Amino acid sequence: MDDQRVGRIVRALRRRLGWRQSDVAEKAGCSQTQVSLVERGWLAKVPLPVVRRIIGALDGSLVIEVRWRAGALERLMDEDHAALVALVAELLRRAGWLVEVEVTYSEYGERGAYDILAFHAASATLLVVEVKTDLASAEATLRKLDEKVRLAPQVARQRFGWSGRLVAKLLVMPEASTLRRRVARHATLFDRAFPARGVEVRPWLRRPEGRLSALWFLSPSSGATAIRGRGGRERVRRPSRPSPSRQPAA
């Protein structure tokens, strides 16, 4: 994020609306001094929530991009996602499900990929699993998951010959306080889309009855694969120094 460029954008948006800095401050619930600091590119002197409110008052939005080692960050995030997918897939196989991962689809112009598509033959139940290690947009996540659930019977039948009578959905996230807070901010939305929670998932996986719609915060201790919870605290222990050997007394 270029602080100076953000400042220029804020000033341009304000002038386009014909507002004074005091007008922006009133709508954003902050001081005129803070608006002035942002316009001059001194973002470090203004709390981030205030910067967001100022830009929001001008009908804009602030996007922060993290860069690390020339693209290595995406590979790192993909590793966490892949590890969590592998963990869930293993838990499903242990419970007797047929499991396929990274299943792509293209139906009537709708395209995407299932993180996990599973089938429980005894109950003729299909399970759509969406794995998220980050939650950029709750609405977009739920909208895309609904699409996958709607298309699941056709995709499962065409790709694998599975004839599902019921379709269940499961949103899986790593156990992390940051993700829990983000879900809590959209509690009404998530409670309606996922009335069931983690405590109900394991019994249902062993004996699926009815349509499950669940949100599952999955801890690494749930399986052999270790997942680091992004956004939470991670304790790094330094190796202890070997104690110096004692010299024999003269």
Determine what percent of the chain is predicted with pLDDT higher than 70.
Answer: 83
Domains and their CATH numbers in the chain: 3-57 (1.10.260.40), 72-222 (3.40.1350)
- Torsion-angle region of 168 (φ positive above 0: left; ψ -120 to 50: alpha; else: beta): beta
Alpha-carbon 95 to chain mean position: 25
pLDDT of 93 over the 80 cut? yes
pLDDT for the residue 219: 79
Calpha distance 93→97 (Å, rounded): 5
pLDDT of 210 over the 80 cut? yes
- pLDDT confidence bin for 232, thresholds 50/70/90: very low
pLDDT of 52 over the 60 cut? yes
> Which strands form 98-107's sheet, in the order they lie side by side?
98-107, 110-120, 125-131, 166-174, 213-218, 196-197
- pLDDT confidence bin for 19, thresholds 50/70/90: very high
Higher confidence at residue 81 or residue 89? 89
Calpha distance 149→167 (Å, rounded): 7
Count CB atoms within 10 A of the CB of residue 43.
20
User: Average pLDDT for residues 105-124, to the nearest whole number?
Assistant: 92
pLDDT for the residue 221: 58
Calpha distance 231→240 (Å, rounded): 27
pLDDT of 222 over the 90 cut? no
pLDDT in tens, 135-187: 878 888 999 999 999 999 999 999 999 999 999 999 999 988 888 998 998 99
Cβ neighbours for 87, distance < 8 A, ≥ 6 positions apart: 218, 220, 222, 223, 224, 225, 227
User: Average pLDDT for residues 206-221, to the nearest whole number?
Assistant: 88
127 backbone dihedrals φ, ψ, rounded to 5°: -130, 120
Angle between helices 21-28 and 32-39 (to 10 degrees): 110
pLDDT for the residue 138: 87
Look up the pTM and report it. Answer: 0.62
- pLDDT confidence bin for 2, thresholds 50/70/90: confident
pLDDT for the residue 220: 65
User: Average pLDDT for residues 36-57, to the nearest whole number?
Assistant: 95
| Average pLDDT over the chain, rounded to an integer | 85
- pLDDT confidence bin for 80, thresholds 50/70/90: confident
- pLDDT confidence bin for 71, thresholds 50/70/90: low
pLDDT for the residue 249: 47
- Sign, CA dihedral 178-180-185-190, equals positive
Nearest in space to 7 (alpha carbons), one of 35, 45, 47: 35
User: Average pLDDT for residues 90-116, to the nearest whole number?
Assistant: 93
User: Average pLDDT for residues 40-61, to the nearest whole number?
Assistant: 94
Nearest in space to 217 (alpha carbons), one of 126, 113, 93, 132: 132
pLDDT of 214 over the 70 cut? yes
Nearest in space to 193 (alpha carbons), one of 167, 170, 164: 170
